[in-house]
A and B are shown apart, each in its own frame.
Chain A
Amino acid sequence: MAVDTMTASPAVVDESVPVKFAKPGGVLAALGLLLVAIAFAVVGGDDTTTIAFDRTLTDVEWALPTSITVALLGAVTAAGGAWMIIGLPKRRFKLVAGVAVTAFVLGLLFWAYSQPGTVFRAESILAGALFLSLPYLFGALSGVVCERSGVINIGIEGQFLMGAFTGVLVANITGNVYAGMVGAMAAGLLSTMLLALLATKYQVNQVVVGVILNLLALGFTSFMYDQLKKAEGLNSAFSIPAISWGPLADIPVLGPVLFNQKIFVYIGLVLVFVIWFLLYRTRWGLRTRAVGEHPAAADSMGVNVNRLRYWNVTLAGLIAGFGGAWFTIANSLAFSKNMTAGLGFVALAVMIVGRWNPLGVLAGALIFGFTTQVARDLDASGGSVVPGEFLQMLPYAVTLVVVAGLIGKAKAPAADGVPYNPGDK
């Protein structure tokens, strides 16, 4: 671990004394050098990478020579790694690591988009990335609310499915897409109540319950899907329009990304800050975190541990259910079997990458969303040098690195997954 190599005196940690980070530095330096090698050995000398603002300034395009740009980015990565090996002030570590990793990813992107005919449509891709990050965001936020209060929720996938299915069904029945969204929330909430009850009152193993709820949701929605196929007009696609903020939507980059999106995007972003505020600035949040860290302490101060957990898990179900509506309503799709395709589990990884903190979760979700979007884009244009699957693999590699504790420590709430029985003294 990086901390082991600390040379600073433990008495007063001087933030400006250089500290060596040999392992991450070595990895980054190697990756950077690899990128430089690719730039000269693999990329053709006259290849160019084209970047375009495809929505606002449609006539502007930049073409950059690929091999030089990739080599430069590789050099930046390697330099960052080398700095870490030599030793740098501890407070600079995050910044340097961030720059180095970003340079590496940009290098890969430049290389991937160097094929003739492919254009990096910056605005579409960034806007799409934000949109595609939403299922991770809602799922991980649901996980944060749940696990911060000490209940593991493996069942997010199932809640997604229930939300996705019920959202479309309710929208079809009522003819109102917003009623569908409320229906999705209700479905997520109701299907999570079972977990809440079993985890608090009956102290059942939460992972087992979560897995079973997933299978139950998959079976139930698949069965209902088959039934609905026979009845006309119960599983038709509903869509909602993007909200355009007038002139704001015409600002380059920012406009398409932030000011011309569907309501799901805004709800997701607002939710991040609302949950962050609730967790860290309110009585509910203090008690929730206490209950997840040390329930006996909370209990001894008169906090009803299991009641708080019950309602938090239920609230988490509501968030996940709304996330489910993204799959159908936000994407203007009808429900189909297992359409969530495991994203509920990826959301758990995002929650860990985000270290159970809503702001971290936002960053993690954006990374996952971005790579998904780029992979889709590359696959659609065809003939990419770097396979889209490879880019899509990157966030999972990041997850492993975070979980393994290479970049700081991901510390779960201490009582996460441990049922609390006040009488069990």
Chain B
Amino acid sequence: MRLELKGLTKKFGSFTADDDIDLVVEPGQIHAVLGENGAGKSTLMNMLYGILTPTSGEILIDGEPVSFSGPGDAIAAGIGMVHQHFKLVGPFSVADNVQLGREHTQRLGVLSAKAARKAVLDVSEEYGLKLDPDAICEDLPVGVQQRVEIVKALSGPKTELLILDEPTAVLTPAEITELLQIMRNLADAGTSILFISHKLKEVQAVADTVTVIRRGKVVAELEPTASEAEMASAMVGRAVTLQVDKTPAEPGEARLEVTGLTVVSDAGVKVLNGLDLTVHSGEIVGLAGVEGNGQTELARSILGLVKPDSGRIAIDGEDVHGASPAARIAAGLGYIPEDRGRDGVVAEFSVAENIVLNQYRDAPFAKRGAVNAGAVRKRAADSIAEFDIRTQSPEEPVSALSGGNAQKVIIAREFSRPRRFLVAAQPTRGVDVGASQFIHSRLVAERDTGTAVLLISSELDEIYALADRIAVIYNGQIVGEVAPDTPREVIGRLMVGGGIHDGAAAASPEEPGAPEPPAAEEAPEPPAADETSNDEDANGGDR
């Protein structure tokens, strides 16, 4: 099947998730779509699979324009999808999951278990995907569950195009190797594959052609022979040069010391692997890296939302092990979360309530257990003026604000209270240029008051604009700490696990020599993962 997208656009209110996407998947081709989280990949796939309706543009299959009103239409047109969060009914058998929606029946809708079992065996034999049709899905390891998903996608009436949405996110290295082989076999058998990923090595290993999208736009068409650094820089962008006025940093004492931090995910993968990092007062340390290398876990560990498996986190020289997030915040930790909607604001609460969300228990906002509405209103009015939050009134719910203004609410909240250390994760994601400038200048001003700032960003330009020191994270480790004037190519190489001295570029004087990062395949073999995120995903939220 030849799939062509012409000017496909999806808007959510004023936010454009996908903007004028053009893309062609040739028959039997593995076409990788590369992009950071939030770049618009999943939205694109959901349009292709009929879950979302495009705002404009068209989808052509073998030259014929099609329109899908639901996944059923996409399946009928020959498209199969393997979702990032598996869509498997846990207590069902493999055969039942595969036949759901296109059941094998005898007369009057009575199921034929025999036919269903045979259908699974036929497909698994045809493509070499070994499966037991009677196994209960929730008992299977994640890798096998994914195989069920693939068989399910291939079992459509005439599946010729397979969409794989971040298929390796939950897999162990061994399972990833196996999946890539399966993909290759499928393509050789004539199935077209659309492979969504932000993992460069996998894309290089398996794709025939690569499309990079960033902020909803196609920014590059690359050959798989393109270097990882090239792909990485296309993903994180270099278009806009951000200019922030700042004086050289005057680092003081260490405010955050992370030593040997290790976090093992539920799937048994070491997402943080003995990470060491120090941030001093009066400096901004930029944490650069391709997303998914442990940034999220690091930020959440510092706040106390994730319990590290080993290692030490000290804030102001004091080990915070076992301290609750509230205690850490009270001790002067500020936190700008990467996922604004989930961790940043209570969308249904008003702007004023969100601004005092971390201080509502303290004077003057609370008096003997009751909220002091006057003080809250005054603080809200002050913050709205100071941070230029565009809102109709302090009583307006945050859900009515644009992304940039919602982010300003968070910044206002975190900045209007004494703090000694600030974690800013993707502080300008989904924020327009003007608001980004404002947030950047506030971060610098914050540094100048002596606060230690850890800036986690997937945008290299942002790191360059703000950081006084750049730490590069890869596979859960800091693989290099370099000066802010280090060339892009060097950082790009570090971000994908290359050595610092591979090129001709000069390294920073404080560079301790990058440790050899373990290749993905050599990562410790975890036990077969037991459960996926199926439970929390029960109602299909893709958040």
Contact = CB atoms under 8 A, between A and B. Distances in A.
Contacts of A424: 541
Interface stretch (B102-110, B127-135, B201-209, B389-397): B102-110
B540 A297 contact: yes
A286 B101 CA distance: 9
Interface in A246-294: 281-287, 289-290, 293-294
A282 B72 CA distance: 20
B16 interface: no
A190 interface: no
A287 B51 CA distance: 19
Contacts of A297: 87-89, 97, 100, 540
A302 B75 contact: yes
B264 to A, nearest CB: 21
B499 interface: no
B189 interface: no
B100 A293 contact: no
Given A283-B111, A294-B87, A414 B70 contact: no
A295 interface: yes
A378 interface: no
Interface in B340-387: none
Contacts of A281: 110-111
B96 interface: yes
Contacts of B46: 425
Nearest to B91: A293
B117 interface: no
Contact of B539 (A286, A303, A418): A418
Nearest to B101: A301
Contact of A290 (B49, B51, B100): B100
A198 interface: no
Contacts of A422: 51, 70, 540
Interface in A366-425: 414-415, 418, 420, 422-425
A298 B101 contact: yes
Which of A294, A299, A423 has the largest count of B CB atoms less than 10 A from its CB? A294
Given A286-B103, A294-B538, A300 B89 contact: no
Contacts of B72: 301-302
Nearest to A414: B538
A302 B111 CA distance: 18
A294 B101 contact: no
B200 to A, nearest CB: 26
A300 B538 CA distance: 13
A296 interface: yes
B83 A300 contact: yes
Contacts of A420: 539-540
B51 A300 contact: yes
A303 B89 CA distance: 13
B540 A299 contact: yes
A206 to B, nearest CB: 13
B415 interface: no
B234 interface: no
B539 A301 contact: no
B259 interface: no
Contact of B88 (A282, A294, A299): A294
B233 interface: no
Contacts of A282: 105, 108-111
Contacts of B537: 294, 296
Given A295-B539, A418-B538, A420-B539, A303 B91 contact: no
Nearest to B46: A425
Interface string B66-109: 00001111010000010100011111100011011111010011
Interface residues of B, number: 38
B534 A294 contact: yes
Interface in A290-343: 290, 293-304
A301 B109 contact: no
B23 interface: no
B541 to A, nearest CB: 7
B510 interface: no
Contact of A286 (B73, B99, B152, B535): B99
Nearest to B109: A283
Contacts of A296: 87, 537-541
Contact of A301 (B91, B100, B534, B538): B100
Given A301-B75, A303-B100, A414-B535, A286 B87 contact: no
B502 interface: no
B522 interface: no
Given A282-B111, A283-B109, A425-B52, A298 B100 contact: yes
B194 to A, nearest CB: 16
A422 B49 CA distance: 13
Which of A282, A295, A302 has the largest count of B CB atoms less than 10 A from its CB? A302
Contacts of A290: 89, 92, 100
Given A301-B101, A422-B51, A293 B110 contact: no
Contacts of B108: 282
A299 B46 CA distance: 12
A282 B104 CA distance: 10
Given A300-B83, A301-B101, A303-B101, A289 B540 contact: no
Contacts of B92: 286, 289-290, 293
A282 B116 CA distance: 12
A419 B99 CA distance: 24
A293 B89 contact: yes
B110 A295 contact: no
B196 to A, nearest CB: 15
Nearest to A285: B111
B542 interface: yes
A293 B96 contact: no
Contacts of A304: 70
B170 to A, nearest CB: 16
A295 B541 CA distance: 10
A300 B103 contact: no
Contacts of A294: 87-90, 534, 537-538, 540
Contacts of B538: 293-296, 414-415, 418
Contacts of B539: 295-296, 415, 418, 420
A302 B73 CA distance: 8
B538 to A, nearest CB: 5
A283 B104 CA distance: 8
Nearest to A423: B52
Contacts of B110: 281-283
B540 to A, nearest CB: 2
Nearest to B42: A425
A296 B543 CA distance: 13
Nearest to B543: A425
B105 A283 contact: yes
A315 to B, nearest CB: 15
Contacts of A284: 109
B89 A425 contact: no
B459 to A, nearest CB: 24
A294 B87 CA distance: 8
B289 to A, nearest CB: 27
Contacts of B70: 299, 302, 304, 422
27 contacts: A282-B105, A282-B111, A283-B110, A287-B101, A290-B100, A293-B89, A293-B538, A294-B538, A295-B540, A297-B89, A297-B100, A298-B89, A298-B100, A299-B51, A300-B51, A300-B87, A301-B87, A302-B102, A303-B101, A414-B538, A418-B538, A418-B539, A420-B539, A420-B540, A422-B70, A425-B540, A425-B541
Interface of A: 281-287, 289-290, 293-304, 414-415, 418, 420, 422-425
Given A293-B92, A294-B534, A422-B51, 11 more contacts: A283-B103, A283-B110, A287-B101, A293-B89, A297-B87, A300-B49, A300-B81, A301-B75, A303-B101, A414-B90, A418-B539
Sort A-B residue pairs by CB-CB distance and give the 10 closest, nearest first.
Answer: A296-B540, A302-B72, A301-B101, A297-B87, A283-B109, A283-B103, A300-B87, A294-B89, A302-B101, A414-B538
